[in-house]
Amino acid sequence: MCLFVVICVHFCSADLLCTHVPYYLFSSGKSMKKSSIANVVLAKSISPLMFSPADEGMREHQERTQQMEDPSNNLEVCTMCNSKAILFDVETSETVCSSCGMVLTDKSESLDAQWKEYSGGNIESKSRTGMPTSLAFHDMGLSTFISYSNVDANGGAISPDQISKVQRMRHWNRISNNNRSYHRNLKSAFAILSSVKDKLSLNDALLEKSAYNYRKALDKKIIKGRSIRALVVSSIYAACREMNVPRTLDEIAEIANADTIFAGKCYRLLLRHLKLHLPVVDSNVYLSKIANKAKVSEKARRRALEMLSTIKSNPVSYGKDPNALAVATLYAACLKEGEKVSQAQIAIAGNTSIVTLRKRFLDVKSIFP
C-alpha cells in the first residue's frame, strides 16, 4: 500500500504564513478521504519566506550576543602589532588598539547600561533609568507610587468612570506601604539618619553602612524597648569607626539630639550582637581636624605628628582616648614651637575639657620633658 501526502499552503499576509494544511490519503482501491486539518509549523523545508522580519532580527541579535559572550571571540591581541592594549569606544562602537590605532571591529553592540544626560523640562520623559536602590530607604527605592494626576500612560485624561477606581487603588497602595511596624520604624530611623548625614557632611558610602547596621539591629530585635534615635547614633558611630572617619560619639549624639550615655550603651550592644570587629582609632586622624579648628600653624602640626608617632609606641598611650591624646600632643607641639595658644582654645577645638587636656599633657610631658 502506497501513502502520499499533498500539502496545500495558503498565505494570509506577506509576513505571516498560514499553516492550515489539509492532509489527503491515497490508497489503492479506495477513494480519497480527508483525514484531519492540523496546524503545522514549517521550519526549513519550504522557504525562507516563512520567517517574518521580526523573527530574523531576533535571530541575528541572539547570534551576535552569543558571539560576544563567547570568550574565544574576544579580541584581546591586536592583529597588527600584537599589543594587548585594546579599548572599546562607546561613542563609535569600535574596538581600537591604543598602540597602533588599528580598528579591530566596528558597529559592535555594547551590553552595558546606557547613561544619558538631558537638559530642559522633559528630563523625566526621556530618562530610561530610575533612582538607584539604597539601603537608606525603608523600601530600598523599589516601592510602587501611583501618581495623583488623573492621566493615563499615553497622556490622555482618565474617564470619570475610572477615577473612583484609581482613587481606591491609591488609597490601598498608601495603606499597604505603611501597614507594618517594621516599615514605619525604618521610615522614622532613616529620616534621622538623613538629617545627621547633612549636618555632619557624611558621604554616601558611610550612609549605606549605617543603614546596613541599623537594619541588622532591627532584624535581631535589638530595638525593642530602646530609643530609635540612640540606635541610629550608635549605627552611625560604628560605621565611622569602621571607615576611619574622625567623628566622636558625643559629636554625633549632639547633632542627633540624643542621650550620649544611652547611645554608648546601644553601641556596645550593637558590637556584641552584630559581632563587629572595628579597628583601633588612630590619633593622627583627629590631629588635622583639631589643628584646623584651632588655627595652628603647619609647622606646629608637623611637629605634633612626629611627637604622636613616638607617643603611640610608648605604653603611656595604652587605653587613652585618641582624641584627648591628639589634643595634648598638639598643645605640647605649640609650646615647643613657641606659639601662643591657650589651653581653652585647644580644648574647644578638640571638643574636650581642660582637665582632660592637662592630664594627657602630663603623660606627653613624661615622654618629651
Residue 126 inside a domain? The answer is no
Q: Residues 263, 230: contact at Cβ < 8 Å?
A: yes
Q: Is 293 left (phi over 0), alpha (psi -120 to 50) or beta?
A: alpha
Q: Which range is most confident: 58-72, 160-174, 313-327?
A: 313-327
CA max distance for the chain: 127
Which string of b and e fits 180-209 if b means at least 16 CB within 10 Å? eeeeebbeebbebbeebbeebebeeebbeb
Mean pLDDT across the stretch 7-30? 40
- Structure-model confidence comparison of residues 52 and 165, the more confident one: 165
Confidence of residue 111 (pLDDT cuts 50, 70, 90): low
- Structure-model confidence comparison of residues 155 and 57, the more confident one: 155
Residue that terminates a domain, selected from 62, 80, 105: 105
> What percentage of the chain carries pLDDT values higher than 90?
33
Residue that terminates a domain, selected from 230, 246, 274: 274
Confidence of residue 32 (pLDDT cuts 50, 70, 90): very low
Residue 203 belongs to domain with CATH number = 1.10.472.10
What is the pLDDT, as a whole number, of residue 268?
A: 94
Checking if the pLDDT of 352 tops 80, the result is: yes
Average pLDDT, the chain: 77
What is the pLDDT, as a whole number, of residue 122?
A: 52
Confidence of residue 282 (pLDDT cuts 50, 70, 90): confident
- Structure-model confidence comparison of residues 46 and 265, the more confident one: 265
Query: How many distinct structural domains can be found in the chain?
Result: 4
Same domain for 9 and 75?
A: no
Q: Residues 189, 228: contact at Cβ < 8 Å?
A: yes
Residue 174 inside a domain? The answer is no
Helices (H), the chain: 53-69, 123-126, 160-177, 181-200, 204-219, 228-242, 249-256, 260-274, 283-294, 298-312, 322-337, 343-349, 354-367
Mean pLDDT across the stretch 91-104? 83
Mean pLDDT across the stretch 37-47? 39
Same domain for 322 and 356?
A: yes
- Structure-model confidence comparison of residues 225 and 18, the more confident one: 225
Confidence of residue 119 (pLDDT cuts 50, 70, 90): low
Confidence of residue 281 (pLDDT cuts 50, 70, 90): confident
Residue 82 belongs to domain with CATH number = 2.20.25.10
What is the pLDDT, as a whole number, of residue 115?
A: 55
Full domain range(s) for residue 7:
1-51
Same domain for 258 and 234?
A: yes
Cell of 345: 582654645
Checking if the pLDDT of 126 tops 60, the result is: no
Same domain for 209 and 230?
A: yes
Mean pLDDT across the stretch 336-344? 90
Checking if the pLDDT of 252 tops 70, the result is: yes
Q: Is the CA virtual torsion 154, 155, 160, 162 positive or negative?
A: positive
pLDDT digits (tens, 9 = 90+) for 54-84: 455 566 656 655 654 444 444 578 888 888 8
What is the pLDDT, as a whole number, of residue 81?
A: 87
Cell of 258: 540624643
- Structure-model confidence comparison of residues 153 and 47, the more confident one: 153
- Which range (142-151, 157-166, 201-210, 260-269) has the least confidence? 142-151
Statement: the pTM of the whole predicted model exceeds 0.95? no
